[in-house]
Amino acid sequence: MLNKLSGVERDTMLQVGNWMTPYPHVITVGKTYEEAARMMQEYELSSLPIVDEDAYPIGVLTTKKLLTIFLENKEKQVIVNNVRTRNFFTITRDANLMELFSIPYQQCLVLDEQQKLIGILTQQDILDGFSKHIYQLEQKENTVEALAIVLEKAYEGIAVVDKNGVLLEFNEAYSRFTGVKKEAAIGRHVTEVIENTNLHMTVKTGIPDRGVLQTIQGQPMVVHRIPIWKDGEIVGAIGMLIFEGVSEVYAMYDRLQEQQVKNLQGPKKVAVQVAEDSRITIDQIIGISEEILSAKRLARKAARTVATVFISGESGTGKEVFAKSIHHLSPMYNGPFISVNCGAIPENLFESELFGYEAGAFTGAHQEGKPGKIELAHNGTLFLDEIGELPLLLQTKLLRVLQEREVERVGGVKKCDVNVRVIAATNRNIEKMVEEGTFREDLYYRLNIIRLHLPSLRERKEDIPILLAHFMKEVCQRYSLSEKHFSADAVAFLMNYRWNGNIRELINTVEHAVIMTEANVIGVDDLPKMVRRETSTDDGSVTPLLERLKVTEEETEKQLILQALQEAGGNKSKAANILGIHRTTLYRKLKRYDVE
């Protein structure tokens, strides 16, 4: 039995088509369950749609179902059209995410007008859209009312605390799971209601926790903890209960790991190692800002074809990560991902590295010759990083390869057909280089078919706390250190730092702070000196520049408020109009500055 939902005309940002994974991995009837398990292991999938020969969906294979099949030793059986799987939910790409919160399914299948599968939407995709929607609602006056409706419709448990850790919201789903009534929960400290919670610590540190395990009533749960920032201060946090149990997933994982160990006994081929390194999905790219979400949506669309993609952006913005994720979702995903840094190879060696060479082509050449990077990328993706550093002579040869899809080795006379998808990237102003004649115009137009620009970290400040939390956990695990976190002041400071080196600089900053700080809480004073931009005060002490600027801005704001009150004769409503702010905002600022 198939459940269906029609699309509703609403905010286009929340349309399913903007958040789904297009053309997901599928298993067709006629394949075995063992083949399905290997595919789910290889691509790290929790579920796998089953389609017939005409791409019509007939079911969804989950890890729970596969676990049962393996335990019954039926993994060699062939998947047939009438396979018994759990019910699944189908939607159109025009459906709205707001309609999907109360649906008890881990994923939805997205169908086109012919009822063929064109995408898959997971609970994580829905939550990403939900988070973005909340951010927009915060800009409107009806935030509280709209948020309350969403909280009650959500299938997952959701709790909201204020800056003191006191529960402000506790939806029915969480109430059912914990056995604590909503009325009894609201107004109490979160630690009195939810066991093993760290939501009150999220308020103190300002660091989000995504996808972490939390034991509730003896059962491991997967939860998100997200701080709420307003006017540069933490005013609360949201806790989301995502999965109600992961023990079955662990059991399936352990079963498949045994087979994987057997396959790892012998040495791997280079192509296999490169393919594993490129298994980065767009969902693994961290960020909830509109700038990064827009880039991820464009990357998903670009991945559907084998068209050439040109990625631009400052150094350290993650161009290679996006290139790998596009390869992973593209029709070339079974082929290798070959990366070439055009700025790291000496010019006299570049031609042989890119195009390969025949035996005896030059002094010191291997007797059997060597294939170039383009040949190695056959039936896969060739990533040309820092393409702006490519010499003009090689630009001409590369253009010929892109036009003719043929490559000729150095010292060779035969041409070899190649089928590669090219992704190029640069941190330079390539249009200016074309004008100056340092980059061929015809090659530029050949590469610039789909343009993907990645925002700098300065343009996506709201992602900085999430990135800090992610890399903090990663660095602590790498060095086998106890878990650490940044203080709220440090997070606020880093959100206003320029990050000229972008994510690469952020990772280095986190690593330095973790290694050099003995305490578990990293404050502003523990950050590297170059990040702090320290400056001396009149008394000779050292104060971060950002803190001095903040004090100056607050003094100026207080004087403006006093002046507006004087002009309004003490009338707060008129003073608010003069200042161009809401009356409640004025009351809050009067309280902050202790103005009677």
Arithmetic mean of pLDDT, 34-40: 88
Whether residue 253 is contained in a domain is answered as no
Residues 526 and 557 in one domain: no
The confidence score (pLDDT) of residue 535 equals 34
Whether residue 377 is contained in a domain is answered as yes
Arithmetic mean of pLDDT, 369-385: 90
Residues 341 and 440 in one domain: yes
Does residue 60 register a pLDDT over 90?
no
By the 10 Å C-beta count (0-12 exposed, 13-18 middle, 19+ buried), 249 is classed as middle
Half-sphere exposure of 474 (CA within 13 A, CB side): 12
Residues 303 and 445 in one domain: yes
Terminal CA-to-CA distance of the chain, rounded, Å? Answer: 66
Q: Which tokens hold the place of 99?
A: 């309609």
More confident: 177 or 5: 177
- Enumerate residues 6+ apart whose C-beta is below 8 A from 365: 352, 357, 358, 359, 411
Its pTM stands at 0.51
Phi first, then psi: what are they for 277, rounded to 5°? -65, -25
Residues 114 and 241 in one domain: no
Q: Which tokens hold the place of 132?
A: 């973005």
Query: Residue 340 CA to chain centroid, in angstroms?
Result: 24
Does residue 35 register a pLDDT over 70?
yes
The H-assigned helical ranges of 368-484 are 373-376, 392-404, 430-436, 441-447, 464-478
Distance (Å, whole) CA 108 – CA 83: 18
Does residue 510 register a pLDDT over 90?
yes
The confidence score (pLDDT) of residue 422 equals 94
Q: Which of 532, 567, 583 is the last residue of a domain?
A: 532
Residues 63 and 207 in one domain: no
Q: Name the helix (H) or strand (E) containing 407.
A: strand 406-408
CB 367 within 8 Å of CB 404: no
Residues 493 and 354 in one domain: no
Residues 201 and 233 in one domain: yes
- pLDDT confidence bin for 366, thresholds 50/70/90: low
Arithmetic mean of pLDDT, 354-376: 77
Long-range CB contact pairs, 146-154, < 8 A, 24+: 150/98, 150/101, 153/98, 153/101, 153/102, 154/101, 154/102, 154/130
The confidence score (pLDDT) of residue 251 equals 43
The confidence score (pLDDT) of residue 576 equals 82
Which residue range is the domain that position 163 belongs to? 156-247
Q: How many CB atoms lie within 10 A of CB 38?
A: 16
Q: Comparing 123-127, 224-228, 543-547, 577-581, which segment has the lowest mean pLDDT?
A: 543-547
Residues 165 and 182 in one domain: yes
The confidence score (pLDDT) of residue 41 equals 84
Residues 338 and 430 in one domain: yes
Number of H helices, E strands in the chain: 24, 26
User: At 509, which CATH number?
Assistant: 1.10.8.60
- pLDDT confidence bin for 145, thresholds 50/70/90: low
Does residue 6 register a pLDDT over 60?
no
Helix/strand/coil for 191: helix
List, for residues 164-218, the tens digit of each pLDDT value: 999 998 888 788 777 788 888 998 999 999 988 999 999 888 888 877 888 776 6
Residues 445 and 498 in one domain: no
The confidence score (pLDDT) of residue 507 equals 93
- pLDDT confidence bin for 321, thresholds 50/70/90: very high
Q: Which of 80, 99, 123 is the last residue of a domain?
A: 123
Helix/strand/coil for 90: strand
- pLDDT confidence bin for 101, thresholds 50/70/90: low
What is the rounded average pLDDT for all residues in the chain? 79
Beta bridge partners of 216: 219
- pLDDT confidence bin for 69, thresholds 50/70/90: confident
3-state helix, strand, coil in the chain (%, to 5): 45, 20, 35
More confident: 326 or 538: 326
The domain total for the chain is 5
The confidence score (pLDDT) of residue 8 equals 38
Whether residue 405 is contained in a domain is answered as yes
Q: How many CB atoms lie within 10 A of CB 246?
A: 16
pLDDT > 70 fraction of the chain, expressed in percent and rounded = 79
The confidence score (pLDDT) of residue 233 equals 84
Helix/strand/coil for 346: coil
Residues 307 and 387 in one domain: yes
- Enumerate residues 6+ apart whose C-beta is below 8 A from 593: 554, 557, 558, 561
Residue 455 DSSP one-character state: P
Long-range CB contact pairs, 538-546, < 8 A, 24+: 544/493, 546/493, 546/496, 546/497
Q: What is the DSSP string of 273-326?
A: HHHHHT---GGGS---SHHHHHHHHHHHHHHTS---EEEE--TTS-HHHHHHHH
Half-sphere exposure of 216 (CA within 13 A, CB side): 27
Whether residue 480 is contained in a domain is answered as yes
- Enumerate residues 6+ apart whose C-beta is below 8 A from 115: 56, 90
The confidence score (pLDDT) of residue 250 equals 46
